[in-house]
Structures are given as C-alpha cells and as structure tokens.
Amino acid sequence: MSCFKLPKGLIKELEVMIQKFWWGNRSGSRKTHWVKWDRLCEAKEVGGMGFKEIEKFNDALLAKQVWQMINNPNSLCHRVFKARFFPDYSILEARESIVGSYAWKSLLSVRDVIRQWMIWRVGNGKSVRIKGDH
C-alpha cells in the first residue's frame, strides 16, 4: 500500500468486505445498518469508530514515501528513481513519463499533497534561483 496506488475497484471491494464483517451478512439475511459508513470512519474523539478510509490512507502512505525520498537522497529508492525518471531535477520538479512504472506514477499522483503543505527555508541562499523560485 505504501508503494502503489490501489485501484478504485480494489478499494471498493475491501471496504465492502469490512462493511459485511461489521454489519453481518449471513445467507442472504442482512443486519440493520444503525450508523452510516462515513460516521464509522470519523475519529474516535468525535464519536466515530476510527475506521480508516482506505483510499486516503493509501495516499498518505504514498505521500510519506515521497517525503522520505525528499529528505533522504542517499536512499536506494531515491537513487533508482532519480537515475531513471528525474536525473536533472528534484522529485518535486519531475515530469510525468509515459513509460514510467506504476510505482513512479503512484508517487507522482500524491506529489501535489507534499507541495501543498511543505515550506521552503532559504538557508544560505545557494540553492535559490532568482527567476525560477517563488
């Protein structure tokens, strides 16, 4: 889950299995759904059961992987992806590739989440591009 974006069909199947387990489904007889699924997915602090929404959880794990690649450029994962997909850029500036692997496309799908919430510290200014950086 932290390496690949799960297909929407698989996510739906997993959620249906969880719902069947929670509400029960024996030989055609169904139990009453006392609470909506959205309510069960809310945090325990606000009265929910704390179930994870699988799609959001999958995106969070992928975003964590991108964050690890940004902060640890010596890792094997970062070095392999950099050599193949973004040799002259950072992962945040990398372009989408038609021939990219499914793992690479999965990481690119959540890159905007990291971009949206990260801040950039100037430091000594050596990596600042006057015309290119905001």
Q: What is the pTM of this model?
A: 0.74
Q: How many domains does the chain have?
A: 2
pLDDT tens digits, 22-31:
777 666 666 7
- Asked if residue 85 belongs to a domain, the reply is yes
How many other C-beta atoms can be found within 10 angstroms of the C-beta atom of residue 108? Answer: 19
Instruction: Kindly tell me the sign of the dihedral angle through the C-alpha atoms of 78, 83, 85, 91.
Output: positive
For residues 67 and 113, state if they share a domain: yes
Q: Determine the pLDDT at residue 1.
A: 66
**What is d(CA 102, CA 106) in angstroms, rounded to the nearest whole number?**
6
pLDDT at 76 over 80: yes
Residue range(s) defining the domain that contains residue 113: 54-117
pLDDT at 3 over 70: yes
For residues 27 and 78, state if they share a domain: no
For residues 41 and 89, state if they share a domain: no
For residues 58 and 37, state if they share a domain: no
For residues 35 and 88, state if they share a domain: no
- Asked if residue 127 belongs to a domain, the reply is no
For residues 108 and 4, the answer to whether their CB atoms sit within 8 Å is no
For residues 109 and 91, state if they share a domain: yes
